[in-house]
A and B are shown apart, each in its own frame.
Chain A
Amino acid sequence: MHNRFRQCLRKVSLAALTMLALNIPVHAADLVIAMPNWPSGQATANILKVSLKENFGLDADVREMGTLIAFAGLNSGEVDIHPEIWLPNLDNLVKKYVDGAGTVAISPIGVPAWQGICATREAADKFGIHDVSDLSDTKKTAALDTDGDGRGELWIGAEGWSSTAIERVRANSYGYAKTMTLLETPEDAGMAAVDAAVATDHPMVFACYAPHYVFELHDIVRLTEPPFDPAKWKIVLPSEDPLWVSKSSAPVSWDTAHFHIAYATSLRKKYPKVVAFLERFELKPEEITKMSYALQVERQDPYEYAKQWVAAQGARVHGWANP
């Protein structure tokens, strides 16, 4: 018995080594779901995985990757689904792959979302920062100085996010890029700075998006801005043109955002029922905030959370899968 076990183990190890060496996946999944690096996207990617297994018996691999790589994968067929495509942030990619190449489709139901600039309660109430125009008032923004150079700091997002590039454009267009230091750090560092500011009643201003757990965690105020005007919204992303900064201008609020599931159009032939399911899949902003809080603040495992979520929402999910 012991010997047999060892032999078996050796065979398994050899097989595993061979597969590793040949880079053959140990388990070939039916579908690949791209997973972004933010919590609601991680939750939704896993909810889709669990839902697809339960309702269609399909195995899906959830793989973490950036949005640009995910779009390239959707285009090439290496990726089948992306759980959370933010529009208008990625309008340019949609133009390229959805309208142009026709290899990617966007589910029609979006979750309403917004993006903008936020302030801690302290910054708004004690330092009078209520509107983006206040960010050009150095008397007000000096209170946001944290490195002793007299200029306030403003976290505009993580390096590599398309929203970060757009926030830089907005800062230039509104003019506060001249009066403030724009910071790009990983989101964890940006959010920890909010935590530290709130813990010591220090003011802080930062780029924000909702739904997001930060609104559950702290008392946060959104700055007012001139309304969105498509005629004034001219965005060229860094991935499109190295001169994107000078070619872009956006002295207005973001358009109301929505995020949608995206899928490879090749799924229409391969798994039409899955496509029908993805096109009915609908989450509410409050659910997104809760997911984000559960994963990011309560540290729940995304897959375990997804299993519980799908179990609790069984009838609803079943309804999307079996109209």
Chain B
Amino acid sequence: MFAERGTVRRRSLTAIVAAAFGLVAVAALAAGTQVFDPKSHKWVDYDRTKARKYYAAHNEVPEAFRPQMVKFRTAEVPGTIIIDGNQHFLYLVQPGQRAMRYGIGVGREGFGWAGIVRVGRMAEWPTWTPPAEMVARDPKAVKYAGGMEGGPDNPLGARALYLYERDQDTIYRIHGTPEPWTIGLDVSSGCIRMRNDDIVDLASRVKVGAKVIVLMQGAALYKGV
């Protein structure tokens, strides 16, 4: 089946190139992310190069990753967030068996953490402090070792939702990003990232204390940013 999936991917690529970044479906070479095409109800691959090209051509992420109200049957109460890292979707449950679905980017490497947490607090244009290992690894991060003030270049973007387990900060965040084309990808750092407009929209709809279910599936979430 794995080999078959490879075939499917190559076929998808042909289709995508032919479509010249047409409407919805954007597929790609690399393993990992796929984009769900809501029209054909099929999965197509998606990678960093395609993502950049698509964004450059449309100034927008593929339709699948834009906020949209979708049918979502669940036992969870409205206001609950469900994060599906594999499909790169974050659902905010709404009344009437529907959900607001947003595209997300998640960490490339990680540890397959899953579970139930809650929104412990939220911040507007939060300060970003790179973790020590990033400061050691990346010379560009050194000048921000003491913290980078919030703003358009700040990796945390416009808002951050800090995820808590009971009263403890888990170090996971759902946050904005100055790199909107990375939505839908497994990128090298960051927790759960969303386009700035989307995280602002999400933050306006979410209450502190909201339940957040992180599914086991998917590209593992990255600890810290």
Alpha-carbon distance between A147 and B36 when the two chains are bound, in angstroms: 16
Instruction: Tell me how far the C-beta of A211 lies from the nearest C-beta in chain B, rounded to whole angstroms.
Output: 14
Known: A138-B1, A193-B215. A213 touches B72 (CB 8 A): no
Is the beta-carbon distance between A189 and B116 smaller than 8 angstroms?
A: yes
Instruction: Tell me how far the C-beta of B105 lies from the nearest C-beta in chain A, rounded to whole angstroms.
Output: 15
In the assembled complex, which residues on chain B have CB atoms less than 8 Å from the CB atom of A21?
A: none
Known: A153-B216, A189-B114, A299-B77. A199 touches B1 (CB 8 A): no
Partner of A200 from the list B87, B115, B216 (CB cut-off 8 Å) is B87
Of A180-188, A250-258, A274-282, the segment with at least 4 beta carbons within 8 Å of chain B is A180-188
Inter-chain contact total with CB atoms closer than 8 Å: 95
Is the beta-carbon distance between A139 and B76 smaller than 8 angstroms?
A: no
Instruction: Tell me how far the C-beta of B69 lies from the nearest C-beta in chain A, rounded to whole angstroms.
Output: 12
In the assembled complex, which residues on chain A have CB atoms less than 8 Å from the CB atom of B2?
A: 138, 142, 150
A15, CB-defined interface residue at 8 Å: no
Alpha-carbon distance between A201 and B37 when the two chains are bound, in angstroms: 11
Is the beta-carbon distance between A148 and B32 smaller than 8 angstroms?
A: yes
The chain A residue with its CB closest to the CB of B211 is A188
B14, CB-defined interface residue at 8 Å: no
Is the beta-carbon distance between B115 and A186 smaller than 8 angstroms?
A: yes
Is the beta-carbon distance between A188 and B116 smaller than 8 angstroms?
A: yes
Alpha-carbon distance between A189 and B74 when the two chains are bound, in angstroms: 11
Is the beta-carbon distance between B76 and A188 smaller than 8 angstroms?
A: yes
The chain B residue with its CB closest to the CB of A202 is B87
| Chain A, 169-219, CB within 8 A of any chain B CB | 183, 185-186, 188-189, 191-193, 195-196, 198-202, 213, 217-218
Known: A192-B76, A199-B70, A217-B75. A142 touches B215 (CB 8 A): no
In the assembled complex, which residues on chain B have CB atoms less than 8 Å from the CB atom of A153?
A: 216-217
B176, CB-defined interface residue at 8 Å: no
Is the beta-carbon distance between A217 and B86 smaller than 8 angstroms?
A: no
Alpha-carbon distance between A155 and B32 when the two chains are bound, in angstroms: 21
Alpha-carbon distance between A315 and B218 when the two chains are bound, in angstroms: 51
B174, CB-defined interface residue at 8 Å: no
**Interface residue total, chain B, C-beta cutoff 8 A:** 36
**Interface residue total, chain A, C-beta cutoff 8 A:** 33
Known: A189-B114, A196-B215. A147 touches B220 (CB 8 A): yes
Report which residue of B43, B75, B115 has the largest number of chain A beta carbons within 10 angstroms of its beta carbon.
Answer: B75
Is the beta-carbon distance between A196 and B112 smaller than 8 angstroms?
A: no
In the assembled complex, which residues on chain B have CB atoms less than 8 Å from the CB atom of A198?
A: 73
In the assembled complex, which residues on chain A have CB atoms less than 8 Å from the CB atom of B215?
A: 146, 189, 192-193, 196
Alpha-carbon distance between A146 and B99 when the two chains are bound, in angstroms: 21
Instruction: Tell me how far the C-beta of B103 lies from the nearest C-beta in chain A, rounded to whole angstroms.
Output: 13
B82, CB-defined interface residue at 8 Å: yes
Is the beta-carbon distance between A196 and B76 smaller than 8 angstroms?
A: no
Instruction: Tell me how far the C-beta of B66 lies from the nearest C-beta in chain A, rounded to whole angstroms.
Output: 15
In the assembled complex, which residues on chain B have CB atoms less than 8 Å from the CB atom of A143?
A: 1
Alpha-carbon distance between A206 and B114 when the two chains are bound, in angstroms: 16
In the assembled complex, which residues on chain A have CB atoms less than 8 Å from the CB atom of B73?
A: 195, 198-199, 217-218
A-contacting residues of B (Cβ < 8 Å)?
1-2, 4-5, 31-32, 36, 41, 43, 70-77, 82, 84, 86-87, 89, 91, 99, 112, 114-116, 213-220
3 tightest A-B contacts by CB?
A146-B217, A142-B1, A139-B1
15 A-B pairs with CB atoms under 8 Å apart are A140-B1, A146-B86, A146-B215, A147-B218, A147-B220, A150-B2, A183-B114, A188-B213, A189-B114, A192-B76, A195-B73, A195-B74, A200-B36, A200-B89, A217-B75
